[in-house]
Protein backbone atom coordinates (compact mmCIF):
# COMPACT_ATOMS: atom_id res chain seq x y z
CA UNK A 1 0.00 0.00 0.00
CA UNK A 2 1.44 3.41 -0.96
CA UNK A 3 1.74 6.33 1.43
CA UNK A 4 -0.97 8.11 -0.59
CA UNK A 5 -3.46 5.31 0.08
CA UNK A 6 -2.74 5.84 3.77
CA UNK A 7 -3.55 9.53 3.32
CA UNK A 8 -6.83 8.63 1.56
CA UNK A 9 -7.66 6.25 4.43
CA UNK A 10 -6.70 8.91 7.01
CA UNK A 11 -4.06 6.57 8.44
CA UNK A 12 -1.52 9.38 8.12
CA UNK A 13 -2.21 13.11 8.24
CA UNK A 14 -2.13 15.49 5.30
CA UNK A 15 -3.18 19.06 4.65
CA UNK A 16 -6.16 18.30 2.41
CA UNK A 17 -7.36 21.15 0.19
CA UNK A 18 -9.96 19.35 -1.96
CA UNK A 19 -11.85 16.07 -1.85
CA UNK A 20 -14.68 14.40 -3.72
CA UNK A 21 -15.76 10.80 -4.30
CA UNK A 22 -13.07 10.22 -6.93
CA UNK A 23 -10.00 12.19 -5.92
CA UNK A 24 -8.14 14.01 -3.19
CA UNK A 25 -5.75 16.99 -3.22
CA UNK A 26 -3.32 17.78 -0.42
CA UNK A 27 -0.24 19.93 0.10
CA UNK A 28 3.12 18.37 -0.76
CA UNK A 29 5.22 17.74 2.33
CA UNK A 30 8.33 19.16 0.54
CA UNK A 31 6.92 22.09 -1.44
CA UNK A 32 8.89 23.21 -4.50
CA UNK A 33 6.88 26.44 -4.89
CA UNK A 34 4.80 28.66 -2.58
CA UNK A 35 1.81 26.49 -3.55
CA UNK A 36 2.51 22.81 -4.20
CA UNK A 37 -0.39 20.40 -4.11
CA UNK A 38 -0.75 16.79 -5.20
CA UNK A 39 -3.98 15.66 -6.83
CA UNK A 40 -4.52 11.89 -6.64
CA UNK A 41 -7.23 9.45 -7.65
CA UNK A 42 -8.71 7.48 -4.76
CA UNK A 43 -8.32 4.29 -6.78
CA UNK A 44 -4.75 3.01 -6.59
CA UNK A 45 -3.20 3.34 -10.06
CA UNK A 46 0.60 3.23 -9.96
CA UNK A 47 1.40 5.66 -12.75
CA UNK A 48 0.36 6.91 -16.19
CA UNK A 49 1.73 3.64 -17.58
CA UNK A 50 -0.94 1.65 -15.72
CA UNK A 51 -3.87 3.59 -17.16
CA UNK A 52 -6.25 1.88 -19.57
CA UNK A 53 -9.56 2.66 -21.26
CA UNK A 54 -11.43 1.83 -18.06
CA UNK A 55 -9.85 4.94 -16.52
CA UNK A 56 -11.21 7.33 -19.18
CA UNK A 57 -13.79 8.92 -16.88
CA UNK A 58 -11.28 9.12 -14.05
CA UNK A 59 -8.77 10.94 -16.25
CA UNK A 60 -11.40 13.40 -17.44
CA UNK A 61 -12.45 14.03 -13.88
CA UNK A 62 -8.91 14.73 -12.73
CA UNK A 63 -8.32 17.16 -15.59
CA UNK A 64 -11.50 19.05 -14.72
CA UNK A 65 -10.65 19.20 -11.02
CA UNK A 66 -7.20 20.75 -11.64
CA UNK A 67 -8.52 24.26 -12.45
CA UNK A 68 -11.02 24.04 -9.59
CA UNK A 69 -8.21 23.31 -7.13
CA UNK A 70 -6.02 26.02 -8.69
CA UNK A 71 -8.81 28.58 -8.33
CA UNK A 72 -9.46 27.47 -4.74
CA UNK A 73 -5.76 28.01 -3.98
CA UNK A 74 -5.81 31.48 -5.54
CA UNK A 75 -3.46 30.69 -8.42
CA UNK A 76 -4.77 33.52 -10.58
CA UNK A 77 -1.38 34.11 -12.19
CA UNK A 78 -1.22 30.57 -13.58
CA UNK A 79 0.31 27.35 -12.43
CA UNK A 80 2.15 24.25 -13.64
CA UNK A 81 0.98 20.63 -13.61
CA UNK A 82 3.51 17.79 -13.61
CA UNK A 83 3.14 14.01 -13.66
CA UNK A 84 6.42 12.21 -13.03
CA UNK A 85 6.43 8.68 -14.46
CA UNK A 86 8.94 5.95 -13.67
CA UNK A 87 12.58 6.26 -12.56
CA UNK A 88 13.70 8.56 -15.38
CA UNK A 89 10.65 10.73 -14.79
CA UNK A 90 11.61 11.15 -11.15
CA UNK A 91 8.60 9.30 -9.74
CA UNK A 92 9.12 8.36 -6.10
CA UNK A 93 5.59 7.48 -4.98
CA UNK A 94 3.88 4.82 -7.08
CA UNK A 95 0.33 6.08 -6.82
CA UNK A 96 -0.58 8.32 -9.76
CA UNK A 97 -0.42 11.99 -8.77
CA UNK A 98 -0.55 15.34 -10.50
CA UNK A 99 1.67 18.04 -9.03
CA UNK A 100 0.03 21.49 -9.10
CA UNK A 101 2.67 24.17 -8.56
CA UNK A 102 2.26 27.92 -8.43
CA UNK A 103 2.51 31.11 -6.42
CA UNK A 104 5.60 32.34 -8.29
CA UNK A 105 6.91 32.44 -11.84
CA UNK A 106 8.32 29.00 -12.64
CA UNK A 107 11.42 28.35 -14.75
CA UNK A 108 11.42 26.23 -17.90
CA UNK A 109 12.79 23.76 -18.95
CA UNK A 110 12.90 21.47 -15.92
CA UNK A 111 16.15 19.66 -15.07
Work out which of 3, 16, 48, 106 binds ligand AMP, going by CB under 6 A: 3
How many CA atoms lie less than 13 Å away from 29 in the CB half-sphere? 7
33 is an interface residue for ligand AMP by CB under 6 A: no
37 is an interface residue for ligand AMP by CB under 6 A: no
Is 55 part of the annotated catalytic residue set? no
Q: Tell me the C-alpha distance between 97 and 99, whole Å.
A: 6
Query: In this structure, how many other beta carbons lie within 10 angstroms of the beta carbon of residue 84?
Result: 17
The one catalytic residue in 61, 72, 95, 97 is 97
- Provide the minimum distance between the beta carbon of 47 and ligand AMP in the complex, in angstroms, as a whole number: 9
Q: CA triplet 22, 24, 48: central angle to 5 degrees?
A: 75
69 is an interface residue for ligand AMP by CB under 6 A: no
Amino acid sequence: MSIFTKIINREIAADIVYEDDICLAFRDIHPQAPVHVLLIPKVAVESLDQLSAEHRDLCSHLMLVIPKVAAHLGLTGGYRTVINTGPHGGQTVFHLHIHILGGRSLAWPPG
